[in-house]
Amino acid sequence: MSTGLIWFQNNLRIKDNSALAEACKENDQVMAIYFFDPKQFEFTEFGFKKTGKFRAKFLIETITELKENLVSLNIPLFIYQEKTEHYLPQFLQEYNISNVYLQKEWTSEEQKIITKVKEEVSEAIQFKAFYDQFLFHPEDIPYSNFNEVPKVFTEFRKKCEAKVSVRKCSLTPQPLNTENFDLKNNTEIPNLKDLGFEEFAQDSRTAFPFKGGENQAKKRIQQYFWETKNLAKYKQTRNGLIGEAYSSKLSAWLANGSISAKQVYWEVKKFEKEITKNQDTYWLIFELIWRDYFKFISLKHGNKIFKIGGILEKDLEWNKDEKARENWITGETKEPFVNANMKEIAATGFMSNRGRQNVASYWAKELKQDWRIGAAYFESLLIDYDIHSNWGNWMYNSGVGNDPRDRKFNIKRQAERYDPDQKFQELWLKD
């Protein structure tokens, strides 16, 4: 009998999961594993925890639902708070695993772990990795290699929209026959304290009052698309600042793979067919293409996305002023609009798209502080942190990425336009 293992990373769902579908198709029995790797909770060179309390809580909720959903397929999920490369090789040996299925990752830290695991195990074990976090599959884009991905998003978008069809979602496997599969799984999901955090209550002002998990992602789509039909006015409201209704808020579930970009795309298409098709419904797809683009940029440029010169290798003068850093983080700058947004992220782990662009522009273009400090702070705090979108957007807003116009935001004008009655600033700045 062959035993397959799904090594879960940022693909924490059972629907439209190529690794899971293939594992169930090719093996008599299937197991799953997830690591709360201590490295993910350590301090980075910039002085912030790689994963802060907000994303940690969301992740715990996500893994809780994943474990329950896998039970419905008769697949046990083993959970360890161990260094992946130290523990996974002995696990593969202990359970006589012949095939390992995972989502394909290409950023350096993830690659290093996968390489180390492969070095420690028998060559007979097959590792099968799938590009499963894209809207446009990398094999389908109209470029012969990733180096041809253009410098400007619009060119990429237009060419892909004209030439690429979004693939259908992969089928959810049928429950496996576990007649001869008797496994004792005593592993438990860690709580916040186990991961080094105190329990905390959610701030009542948050624009992201949601929990982690695949079922929660589906619930949000049901609510945002079908119950409120807010999708039909997405482009008009997406620059909002207060409350959960102004945007889809799907980014956190997309980031850890509780839902796939393809699932969102095909749900939009269904909405367009059954309810309405307009510029607003298209705009959500437009945003998914932006998300793809930053993934292709990191595929093209590798570690340059983490370098101070960015993908443009610009030699700019950057400051490292401790006082400026402290004032920016605590929301004590001379710009009330920046302060309100920074207080929001510190209290909730979330910030609007409009807010993110303004605080990043202020940090990098006004204060001329090392943009990577800002990116690392966001990495720590954001519930919806995605390595490619976060570092890609920070490069873009800091003049070392994909913005051909190298824009600088006029913060006061932005505040007047997007918070004209100062409701958002009052919400976060009042005593």
CA–CA dist 186, 193 (Å, integer)? 19
Domain with CATH 3.40.50.620 in the chain: 3-132
* Statement: residue 431 has pLDDT above 70: no
- pLDDT-above-70 percentage for the chain: 99
* Statement: residue 217 has pLDDT above 80: yes
Q: How much is the average pLDDT of 375-401? A: 97
Q: Among 168, 50, 191, 58, which Cα is nearest to 109's?
A: 50
Written out in words, the top-level CATH class of the domain with range 3-132 is: alpha beta
CA–CA dist 56, 52 (Å, integer)? 6
Angle of helix 387-398 versus helix 279-301 axis, rounded to 10: 90
CA–CA dist 211, 249 (Å, integer)? 12
Instruction: Check whether 234 is labelled as a binding-site residue.
Output: yes
pLDDT digits (tens, 9 = 90+) for 276-287: 999 999 999 999
Q: How much is the average pLDDT of 330-346? A: 98
- What local confidence, expressed as pLDDT, does residue 391 receive? 98
Q: How much is the average pLDDT of 356-361? A: 98
Instruction: Check whether 403 is labelled as a binding-site residue.
Output: no
Instruction: Check whether 389 is labelled as a binding-site residue.
Output: no
* Statement: residue 123 has pLDDT above 80: yes
Domain with CATH 1.10.579.10 in the chain: 307-429
Q: Among 201, 256, 267, which Cα is nearest to 65's?
A: 256
Written out in words, the top-level CATH class of the domain with range 307-429 is: mainly alpha
Instruction: Check whether 233 is labelled as a binding-site residue.
Output: no
Instruction: Check whether 386 is labelled as a binding-site residue.
Output: yes
Average pLDDT of the chain is 96
Q: Which fold has domain 134-168+214-302?
A: 1.25.40
CA–CA dist 193, 81 (Å, integer)? 12
CA–CA dist 377, 346 (Å, integer)? 10
- What local confidence, expressed as pLDDT, does residue 225 receive? 98
Instruction: Check whether 248 is labelled as a binding-site residue.
Output: yes
pTM above 0.95, yes or no: yes
Are 346 and 203 a contacting pair, CB within 8 Å? no
Q: Count other Cβ atoms within 10 Å, centred on residue 415.
A: 21
- Please, which pLDDT band fits residue 189 given cuts at 50, 70 and 90? very high
* Statement: residue 297 has pLDDT above 80: yes
- Please, which pLDDT band fits residue 334 given cuts at 50, 70 and 90? very high
CA–CA dist 246, 254 (Å, integer)? 18
| CA angle, 241 then 245 then 250, to 5° | 95
- What local confidence, expressed as pLDDT, does residue 405 receive? 86
pLDDT digits (tens, 9 = 90+) for 14-59: 999 999 999 999 998 999 999 999 999 999 999 999 999 999 999 9
- What local confidence, expressed as pLDDT, does residue 184 receive? 79
- What local confidence, expressed as pLDDT, does residue 185 receive? 87
| CA angle, 318 then 42 then 326, to 5° | 40
Instruction: Check whether 247 is labelled as a binding-site residue.
Output: yes
Domain with CATH 1.25.40.80 in the chain: 134-168+214-302
- What local confidence, expressed as pLDDT, does residue 407 receive? 87
CA–CA dist 430, 413 (Å, integer)? 21
* Statement: residue 180 has pLDDT above 70: no
